[in-house]
Structure 1
Amino acid sequence: MILTIVEGFDRIEKKLDRMNRLKDCLDGDTLLDNCDLANLLGVTQRTLARYREKGLIRYYHMDKNGKNYYRSSEIQEFLKQRGKKKE
């Protein structure tokens, strides 16, 4: 029973680490992974894939682990552009 509780805490700890993870990048910027960005924007990971396919957001693909990362400053710029109304 204690082993089950410890395993549960390990799973929770991993989830919290993933949710709170912000990796240092160039110039003090931070990197967000797909999960972080989807949660931040309130969209699905499939929507992020569509944004990438359409070239709406810039991303960095890491061959080592196969993950995509996004610079927070570029996401802020994306949100500013999306918020502008067309005249």
Structure 2
Amino acid sequence: MNIDKMEFLNWMDRIMRRFDLLDENLNNIGKQKSNIDGEELLDNQDLLLMLKISPRSLQRYRSQGKLPYYTISGKVYYKLSDVHQFVKDSLAVRRFG
């Protein structure tokens, strides 16, 4: 199968425009944060990286009621304000405990 140079360039241009659209859509999806009551939600992975703790420690904080959480469609989320309060409470216990 032979195609001329102009036809090939037109095809490549169409393909590149598709890639640009896909890239834009992926960027928009990535920018969307989960929210509840207008507040940002974090998932387990976010907290593990943020707090530099193990999955077991995170589970223990949930089980002990130290860190409030929400389950949405089988996935666990945490309100950012609850995480901030958890950190403040943890620091207060270490300082005065």
For Structure 1 versus Structure 2, the TM-score category normalised by the shorter chain is: 0.5 to 0.7
Choose the corresponding residue for 1:69, options 65, 72, 77: 77
CA distance in 2, matches of 1:50, 1:80: 18
Structure 1 pair 21–52 and aligned structure 2 pair: CA distance change class (3 A): farther
Instruction: Name the amino acid aligned to 2:39.
Output: D
Identity, % of aligned positions: 34
SS of 2:96's equivalent in the other structure is coil
SS of 1:48's equivalent in the other structure is helix
Which consecutive aligned stretches of 4+ in structure 1 deviate over 4 angstroms post-superposition?
none
User: How many residue pairs were aligned?
Assistant: 69
Query: Does residue 24 in structure 1 map to residue 32 in structure 2?
Result: no
* Ranges in structure 2 where 5+ consecutive residues have no aligned partner: 1-25
- Aligned twin of 1:78: 86
TM-score, scaled relative to structure 1: 0.67
TM-score, scaled relative to structure 2: 0.61
Say what the alpha-carbon RMSD is for the aligned residues: 2.3
Larger Rg over CA atoms: 2
Instruction: Name the amino acid aligned to 1:78.
Output: F
- Aligned twin of 2:51: 41
Instruction: Name the amino acid aligned to 1:41.
Output: L
- Aligned-pair CA distance for 1:47: 1.1
Instruction: Name the amino acid aligned to 1:67.
Output: K
- Aligned twin of 2:67: 57
- Aligned-pair CA distance for 1:61: 1.2
* Ranges in structure 1 where 5+ consecutive residues have no aligned partner: 1-12
